[in-house]
Chain A
């Protein structure tokens, strides 16, 4: 089957088996390997992407269900010019170690801060409870997301996908 949707602002048309998940489609068909697959059954959150503004697990969605949707992956959250507020905060707080869960945490945090730029630490903890991280112990991640809030409060729509991804 074919499916048309946009990824990081770019229109794409893919030919996929109906059983292919959006996660596999992004990685294998579109070579956007920033989206990581951990459990492949909706538990770990590593594969989180943003579909029509909502953070969703791309292993629990078929590629054909993305027809007509706007998909943003972790590649779409960066640009070539400089570090985004989330990237800066993650770097400063050492909010990653092995990095496997990081794409899912960044997409989740971006969706959260875009919608709720004034969320408190409890809300951040609750939302990130859907993302498993076995390295950091979460404290540094929470600190980073808390710090990134300010940038979203000033410009809730940033950052734009711009040149990210491919």
Chain B
């Protein structure tokens, strides 16, 4: 279907963009790469009266890597993450997860900020943000604030962003060089949304036992979820075959997927266990 009638603005500053959003009382929508929003407009699931294009806002497409972690501008595209070889060591979990996002053409336009704000329950970027305890800086007419990823995703396509707020930056905490990690997802066709996906990492103490375990899943709930039972199984234990089996069982036990046209709940529960097992095998392999 053709898009609904709408107005378009392309402001040059964040302040101008925020003012435009605020002036439209929730009827305006920011557009970054548009790779989720444009289909929603085509289906008329969304019909804002105004699109505020963020493409001219300065400095929002930067990838900065420092002692406090990786900072991604909201206009950083999947393509930019793929091309930035520094990220393969500075944030390997992100780099691995983003390999699974959509197709070649979409990756040339789809953005970090767009994916977070869209908040598809099966999308990789929200899952990585949640699993890594990301901090999402936003700008609105009330000023700037920082939202923790755990407080950001409220439901399907629903976030804590106010209608006049724009994501200004995402910070993923620093990544120790020896951290162990794994990312696994399953989709029926390459580039499709995942039926389920699992991201996880842990550090090792002097005895080789896992500490600081973080695990998250996508595609199994109305938003990305943390797998706290998996984290509990891992922390304080050597990640061996028995621990991996226990973690996989914990993962299947703690998620609460719904039946839908793509897969029954029982399938997704089993899948999350399998993906957890595979991710841990990859993480613990020497």
A interface, CB within 8 angstroms of B: 1, 17-21, 24, 40-42, 45, 48, 54-57, 59-62, 64-65, 67, 108, 112, 126-127, 129-130
Minimum CB–CB distance for B286 against chain A, Å: 26
- The number of residue pairs between A and B whose CB atoms lie closer than 8 Å in the complex comes to 81
CB pair A55 B191 closer than 8 Å: no
Residue from B55, B79, B103 within 8 A of A45 (CB atoms): B103
**CB-CB nearest in chain A for B47:** A19
Residues of B within 8 A of A61 (CB): 34, 38, 109
Contact of B241 with A by CB under 8 A? no
**Which residues from B are CB-within-8-Å of A19?**
2-6, 41
CB <8 Å contact, A62 and B42: no
B35: which of A1, A42, A54 is its contact (CB, 8 Å)? Answer: A42
CA distance A108 to B41 in the complex (A): 25
Separation of A33 and B30 alpha carbons in the complex (Å) = 30
- Contacting residue for A112 out of B2, B34, B39, B104, CB 8 A: B104
Complex Cα spacing A155 to B39, Å:
37
B267 at interface, CB cutoff 8 A: no
Chain A positions within 8 Å of B41 at CB level: 19
Q: What residues of chain B lie closer than 8 Å to A59, measured between beta carbons?
A: 38, 42
Q: Is the interface of A mostly helix, strand, loop or mixed?
A: mixed
The interface on chain B, measured as residues whose beta carbon lies within 8 A of the other chain's beta carbons, has a size of: 30
CB nearest neighbor in B for A57 = B105
A108 to B103, CA, bound (A): 11
Residues of B within 8 A of A20 (CB): 3
List A contacts of B145 (CB < 8 A): none
- B5–A56 CB distance below 8 A: no
Closest 5 CB pairs of A and B: A130-B103, A18-B8, A54-B108, A41-B39, A19-B3
Q: Which of A62, A112, A127 has the most CB of B within 10 A?
A: A62
Contact A21 B105 (CB under 8 A): no
Task: Give Cα distance in the complex from A64 to B9, angstroms.
Answer: 10
> A56 contacts B109, CB within 8 Å?
yes
Q: How far, in whole Å, are A2 and B104 apart by their CA atoms in the complex?
A: 29
Q: Determine if A65 and B191 form an interchain contact, defined as CB atoms under 8 angstroms apart.
A: no
